[in-house]
Structure 1
């Protein structure tokens, strides 16, 4: 098939889907409405011409009979009562002076309306309401025959009972088949959902295992080596010992963060009770830790409004990542951090001055992670070079975001 033919076929399928009803309930209403109009257009003239009934009353009771299936979709008891009453009154309006050659008490249009009423109730509400409609409709025909014994009625009653009874049985079987199909569809959807959840849990467990076996193990070694450096290295200068202590503290903090992330990954319901999240109040400590690593840092904070916990966490992580990038790509360059809030947003800006060192090769996902954190909360972020050769990251986040990340997200 050529590309143009495929496009025409896809367009034709979309047009067909637009023309078809979107669900079974709408389809039933459309079908019953069409049948009601068609039966009404036939029933009224047939009864007024061949049965001598009063035109106005025939129009009234005929409309009630053909509309009863539509009413029974929502109100089965009312629909059953309306059709049963119409099925009793319409044959009783037959003129006694006419020599009937047509079937009575069930005319062909009324027989079809009876079958539609029984089938619609059975489809929508099950076999018991459908059986009640079948019994009451049959009883209405027999009652009309009892009131007018002079009009032959045996053949009509037998044929109508047989035909509508067959329609009722087919409706029961088809309705059962449809309900079974719905149950199977729901079961398959539930199974697919459970399978997807199981695969997600397995993937999260695999990631947690790799983080624990590789990253956490390496961080533990760094922490142990840095903590014991003053004891293992003779005559270690005090400055170097202090530097090793800072490295050990940073490693311990990273291990705590790693344990928290592992706890999230190993939690199947995504609602693990975690330690308090990082926030704006932790940024000065982050600045101080980075400053001890040799960076020239300055911090300006102007917080005048309360900021939600998700926004605080995002601000902290963006600041942490931007500082890490600045230290790695522009060592010994001056770094300024500015954090302000207004009535609607919290804004953090991290700027590093130009550096004489060659930038390190970038193969990480830091900028992508910052962008994702910002977009989840409905904020905006800009990261790029300055005209003077430096680099600036500016993130603007709503103080109270409308869409919040999943509880426990790192």
Structure 2
């Protein structure tokens, strides 16, 4: 992750560059702690132990044999240089302080022995390897400014010890190699960290975008249902108002009290209709001309099936004739919309497949079933060329939930798909007087 720009540090350039070394990352989660596999979560500790078990004896031997240090002192210095690698799994910057101090102390003690040796100076080879291993978890955890400060501190210390070694004629200089390798590992680790962070942020953004798309699709479908319900309820409220207002004129001998009651009913219906239109008026603001047409129902299913057939999906319709104009208007409209969306999904996802639409009455419920077979072997989904919203079933669920019904959808063993809805039928719709 790219650090935000900051102003110049107070107290001079050098304190500003070294200040990040005193502020380690607050994230102490071990590396790979969020991995799904258990073995992956233990992998950093296993690698650290393997590095320690390999470097500890070799560092002790090199310091004692090649540099002439006391064996006990060499072992103590080697432990200080390698064991903090375990700490680096979760707290790499404190581990750097420990290992860096041990490496510096080792070089100073080597210098004081006064031994003329051809070994590397100022950093023994095992120390360089351990230091480079430390740089990787450090780069994966700390900020870019901290990594720069670590590299500058390493460079300054290496150059200072190199000058001391030249004066004392101690060993062959490896300071530039150590500085170059340290910088390379820090750059590589930092690049991996920033790439992983960018992928994480991208995944989070995609998740947020998908949730927003689902929410927007749901709200749009609810708004569409609300508009259609507005039409249904407005029709019935208008009929109530007209019937109540005209009752004293259509029925002879209506008492004045009853006529007054009819007038109150008509007034209440008109007030309710006005209030409903005012509350739902915002949903009508973007209506197109086609939405102002009469709402479809079971009677239009035959035309819908014929249209789908022209789109390359042969479909059969089985519906009892007595169901036409016999259902509540809300159920009638919902049945049409469910069948319409189900057949549209067949056209999009299984072009060329056969489909069957059936409506049947089971006691107080209406059974709506739309089943399609497997598409032809070479048929390609239209969604491959133009990605759809992927939320076609949202509207079905909302409509079924509105009517207190049940919806069952899912693939079939033969490669087809099934949409089955159970919609309660309270009472048949009575024609308006």
Instruction: Give me the TM-score of the superposition, normalised by structure 2.
Output: 0.47
Instruction: Give me the TM-score of the superposition, normalised by structure 1.
Output: 0.49
